[in-house]
Structure 1
């Protein structure tokens, strides 16, 4: 999905094959069990509302296709199959694929920050998701010999994130790792030996990464300083400046249709603003796609209902957080933080690849936990 052209479309027939096999092998018991999961209810509600929006005032067909495919797959998928060993191998294979893909495009082909057919921001978001799961596996209380696979996966998943030169994901990824570490330290305070080992490992990994990719990192750092100075001087034509302008445009459109949003008809409203000179051509071009903020974008296009559903799939994993096993807690807090922080400067749930991966990992993890019947 991450390395092929229209890979998200190619996942749909694979989903259908998996659903048929599951129904033939496991009968209806799996479906009856899965449809009792509140998380499945949530994504089903999001799927239904997205379909309604698509026919009512227009919405992304790719997002709708992804939600329908993932929802049907997760209804038929036996969650107990997603064991720790399976996750280790899935993440390792994913890391090998994205590392080879990024190195090939960035160095051999020379495409800069582009690594194939996907925009760098959703691509780096998906890569960060894989990396966070690998890091979570590293922190689990498993024997040292079992950490070889997640260590390899984590090491291989870092270059694609750096090569994407996506500052928002760099920040979201770093903070997500920090919150995972805090979660572990609260539950199991580390020993001095563990702290020393972690410090040395982090120092070596950081130094190696900084040395190998110093040109990429320095370029983005200097670009950020340049953009901040431009904004301070009143020039908003930079990447950061354009985002600030997009965030200023969104509230006015939200006030016009707060409940259901504008859908694709927002382009007509933006065109009127362009003709009246209220926004520039650049802002019209970017806003017609999205507003570089998941929550503002969802409010503009899908209204309060759409926003509540998106926030729900971020909040629900945190609501059952205390019922999850240790490893699942690390994965959950890491992925929720990643998508929330990334959503402040981009729209990760609008893109099929990160949306699909988020749901494929978290729905089984959060749906198989044992909860107190009185909770």
Structure 2
């Protein structure tokens, strides 16, 4: 009898050990797979499967207490509700499904604890470093933006660089009592910002610069003299990067040319296309303000309405660029499910900040949420490829790290 108990206990311990190994691998793989779209599905399935084995359903009530988890569920529920008044989705017109990727925050956060945290951090750092080195190689050797090796557009790469720069500046201030670490982080932030200036993402770069200014103010609001010195240094660095970046100069020139062409009635440019999309989108929201046109309908609405809208001045745009989204988080969600969706998105951002504040990280929360909001004014940042997952992983790791240290 005693031997059976010992054998049973041994098997249970072995099962717990293997489960722990599997959980750590799943967390590591999930953070690493963020950067490869073809690995996303397998990493999602593995994480969910391991979450079930780790009594994920039993922990669900505790995880849902997090404001961010609640707001993600609200947004996804609103989008599902929007299917009731939409037409059947067309094949290839399912970009709205990317909103549901936000749900991965729940199992990921549930699996994280003190012992597993290093594995998630290693996966995140290894993946970020790999993409960064590949992007630097492409920029230095080939002189091209983006990261072709990871099938990453210049917009996604620029957004990734912006997030890294914001985190580096925040950590440099937190680590100011260790001058060596602080100086290394400042240098890293400058390198990321320099590379970002040489990408072609104007809106994301502007969001990064405004967020960094806001972050400097938050970190030094009680030290006016230091704040002034940092502001002066920031202006000098930005000016230096602006005048030394051929890519940035070219994009500024292109923006001026695009605006001039838009005023002449030529909308087949980068800026003109965005302005036209916003014009049609705002008109579409005004027609159905409360509940929108239904989940999955914004793309077909644009292509159908441009034929007659304002006498058909935008009718050639679907041939200029394949209709994918409205280049604005608020217009995009508003076209799907109207004011209901806009309120759900506002609740998501507010809850994201509340989650950081709940874990005594209000400054980091304000900085990252500001970045998400600003970047979402010129693009559909919430459904960017890879970037929302990166932000959710950073959020989960940050609050678990704070809990570990606190």
SS, match of residue 352 in structure 1: coil
Are residues 171 and 283 of structure 1, via their aligned partners in 2, closer, same or farther at CA, if it must alter by over 3 Å? same
Residues 359 and 399 in structure 2, CA contact (< 8 A), matched pair in contact too = yes
Distance 2:112 2:123 in 1: 16
Distance 2:347 2:115 in 1: 25
> Paired residues, what number?
361
Q: CA deviation at 1:351?
A: 1.7
1:337 maps to which of 370, 385, 401: 370
Residues 321 and 329 in structure 1, CA contact (< 8 A), matched pair in contact too = yes
1:119 maps to which of 153, 158, 169: 153
Deviation by residue 1:185-231 (Cα, 9 ceiling, x = unmatched)? 22x41665x865x47864785576457x5322221222233333334
The residue aligned with 1:357 is 390
Are residues 310 and 345 of structure 1, via their aligned partners in 2, closer, same or farther at CA, if it must alter by over 3 Å? same
After TM superposition, the structure 1 = structure 2 runs for residues 193-272 of structure 1, keeping only pairs within 5 Å, are 198=230, 202=234, 205-206=237-238, 209-210=241-242, 213-258=244-289, 259-272=291-304
The residue aligned with 1:373 is none
Q: CA deviation at 1:348?
A: 0.4
Distance 2:65 2:135 in 1: 40
Deviation by residue 1:147-174 (Cα, 9 ceiling, x = unmatched)? 2553354244224422321111111000
Work out which of the two has the higher radius of gyration on C-alpha atoms and give 1 or 2: 2
1:101 maps to which of 109, 127, 134: 134
Distance 2:327 2:56 in 1: 43
Q: Does 1:291 align with 2:323?
A: no
After TM superposition, the structure 1 = structure 2 runs for residues 1-375 of structure 1, keeping only pairs within 5 Å, are 7-18=36-47, 31-53=60-82, 57=87, 58=89, 59-60=94-95, 62-64=97-99, 66-74=101-109, 76-78=110-112, 93=126, 96-110=129-143, 112-116=144-148, 117-140=151-174, 141-147=176-182, 150-151=185-186, 153-186=188-221, 188-189=222-223, 198=230, 202=234, 205-206=237-238, 209-210=241-242, 213-258=244-289, 259-276=291-308, 278-284=312-318, 286=321, 288-319=323-354, 325=360, 328-362=361-395, 365=398
Ranges in structure 2 where 5+ consecutive residues have no aligned partner: 1-29
Q: CA deviation at 1:354?
A: 1.5
Distance 2:154 2:60 in 1: 36
Deviation by residue 1:125-168 (Cα, 9 ceiling, x = unmatched)? 22211221111111214422332553354244224422321111
TM-score, normalised to structure 2, is 0.73
Are residues 269 and 24 of structure 1, via their aligned partners in 2, closer, same or farther at CA, if it must alter by over 3 Å? closer
Residues 242 and 249 in structure 2, CA contact (< 8 A), matched pair in contact too = no
Ranges in structure 1 where 5+ consecutive residues have no aligned partner: 371-375
Deviation by residue 1:255-293 (Cα, 9 ceiling, x = unmatched)? 444315333334443343344452534433558311111
TM-score, normalised to structure 1, is 0.78
Distance 1:152 1:82 in 2: 30
SS, match of residue 263 in structure 1: coil
